[in-house]
């Protein structure tokens, strides 16, 4: 067994599972409200809060650092929203400015705090890339309780948040205080981010907000299922990454967690039924095949009608059909013909010649009337 499950590792696993679950669940709302980048700005903006909280209190208590991060993170989010609302600066620029200014300030304060006498043990630099092995029991309790508070709030205001995410203007017309709800939801997202900073680090935390949510979206068309799946994906990535980091020396937790989240996301993008790229490619192929068959049927009907008065039994060669198809730009004439033959819509005659069957003629006339397009059955 790679991961010997002693007490320390259990602590690490539970801690990273809870932060991953909270980030994955709240991340769904960030992604659906197109606020993915806000998470990035918020997590970077939290760094000066952490450093300042330590400098002012000389304490490394999780609650102290959490509050510092929360306040700075919220401040960052507020600055972004106000810059967008009151100036003509677009949100991407506002996010970029806030992210770099706060992060820069955070790095300066971090360096400063480490140079203070007696602060060599501060170890605040773990907030940059995250460290799972240092999770203690008290951190675990704190993360579990804070995470439970965040998720409970999400459940309590579920109906309102769903409406806010889908149609905020309509929510406002119903009399809901949209601005206050936005602030509350953003605060929850900020809290979810801040909870993970110690383990994942400010640089990569936003990935744990976005990736599990984006993966979850691929598998479902229901918001509730998406949030549960996002939480599960976040928890799985958190546990796997944290355990990897704890087991192998010199593997930082943040990058490991984010890599696992990325694997889940890429797999979802490729293979999720319906929305996955592989499925879409298969669907598109079959749609194109069906449309090619449609086009060919219509061509054949056209050509056969030209012979209706002299020789109703006239059949056309593959070459003639190819020539006619080249006008409309259809490909794979022979493949389509074999296909239609298998479905009983055309009949294969000797000398590589083809003729519409009775059902084929009927279907082709339907198509020319604009009915049932794309409905030609293919095997």
> Binding residues for another protein, per CB under 8 A?
32, 156-160, 162-163, 165-167, 169-176, 217, 220-223, 225-226
The sign of the torsion formed by the CA atoms of 194, 195, 198, 201 equals negative
First to last CA, the chain: 48
DSSP 206-246: HHHHHHHHHHHHHH-S-HHHHHHHHHHHHHHHHHHHHHHHH
Per DSSP, helices labelled H in 33-136 are 36-57, 62-86, 91-115, 126-129
Nearer to another protein, 172 or 365 (CB): 172
Question: Residue 224 is encoded by which pair of tokens?
Answer: 């509730």
| Residue closer to another protein (CB basis): 217 or 316 | 217
Nearest distance from C-beta of residue 180 to another protein, angstroms: 12
Decide: 344 and 359 in contact? Cβ < 8 Å.
yes
Q: How far is CA 235 from CA 129, 211, 326, in A?
A: 18, 12, 55
As measured in angstroms, the least distance from the Cβ of 293 to another protein is: 24
Beta carbon nearer to another protein, 220 or 341? 220
Give the nearer residue to another protein in terms of CB position, either 70 or 163. 163
Strand 316-317 to 353-356 pairing: antiparallel
- Min dist CB 250 to another protein, Å, is 40
CB of 217 to another protein, least distance (A): 7
Q: How far is the CB of 183 from another protein (least distance, A)?
A: 16
Query: In the bound complex, what is the minimum distance in angstroms from residue 132's beta carbon to another protein?
Result: 32
- Comparison of 217 and 363: residue with beta carbon closer to another protein: 217
Nearer of residues 189 and 315 to another protein, judged by Cβ: 189
Q: Which two tokens stand for residue 356?
A: 């519409």
Dihedral of CA 266/270/272/277: which sign? positive
* Smallest separation, CB 156 to another protein (Å): 6
Phi/psi at 177 (nearest 5 deg)?
A: -75, 85
Q: Which is nearer to another protein, 29 or 102 (CB)?
A: 29
């Amino acid at each position: 067994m790679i991961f010997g499950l002693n007490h320390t590792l259990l602590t690490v696993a539970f801690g990273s599972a809870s932060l991953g679950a909270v980030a994955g669940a709240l991340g769904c709302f960030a992604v659906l409200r197109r606020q993915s980048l806000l998470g990035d700005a918020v997590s970077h903006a939290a760094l000066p809060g952490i450093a300042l909280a330590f400098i002012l209190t000389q304490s490394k208590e999780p609650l102290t650092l959490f509050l510092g991060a929360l306040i700075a993170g919220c401040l960052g989010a507020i600055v972004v929203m106000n810059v967008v609302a009151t100036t003509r600066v677009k949100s991407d620029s506002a996010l970029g400015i806030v992210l770099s200014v706060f992060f820069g300030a955070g790095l300066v304060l971090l360096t400063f705090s480490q140079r203070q006498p007696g602060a060599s043990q501060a170890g605040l630099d773990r907030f940059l890339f995250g460290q799972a092995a240092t999770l203690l029991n008290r951190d675990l309790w704190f993360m579990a309780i804070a995470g439970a508070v965040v998720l409970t709030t999400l459940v309590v205001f579920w109906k309102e948040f769903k409406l806010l995410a889908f149609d905020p203007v309509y929510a406002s017309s119903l009399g809901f205080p949209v601005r206050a709800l936005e602030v509350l939801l953003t605060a929850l997202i900020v809290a979810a981010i801040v909870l993970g900073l110690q383990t994942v680090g400010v640089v990569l935390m936003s990935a744990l907000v976005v990736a599990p949510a984006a993966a979850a979206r691929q598998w479902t068309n229901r918001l509730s299922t998406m949030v549960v799946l996002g939480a599960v994906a976040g928890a799985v990535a958190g546990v796997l990454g944290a355990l990897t980091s704890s087991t192998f020396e010199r593997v930082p937790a943040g990058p490991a967690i984010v890599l696992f989240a990325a694997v889940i996301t890429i797999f979802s993008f490729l293979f999720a039924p319906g929305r996955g790229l592989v499925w879409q490619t298969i669907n598109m192929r079959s749609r194109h095949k069906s449309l090619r068959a449609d086009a060919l049927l219509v061509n054949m009907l056209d050509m056969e009608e030209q012979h209706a008065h002299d020789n109703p039994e006239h059949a056309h060669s593959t070459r003639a059909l190819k020539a006619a198809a080249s006008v409309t730009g259809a490909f794979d004439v022979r493949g389509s013909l074999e296909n239609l033959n298998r479905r009983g819509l055309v009949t294969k005659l000797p000398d590589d010649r083809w003729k519409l069957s009775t059902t084929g003629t009927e279907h082709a006339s339907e198509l020319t009337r604009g009915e049932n397009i794309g409905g030609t059955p293919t095997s």
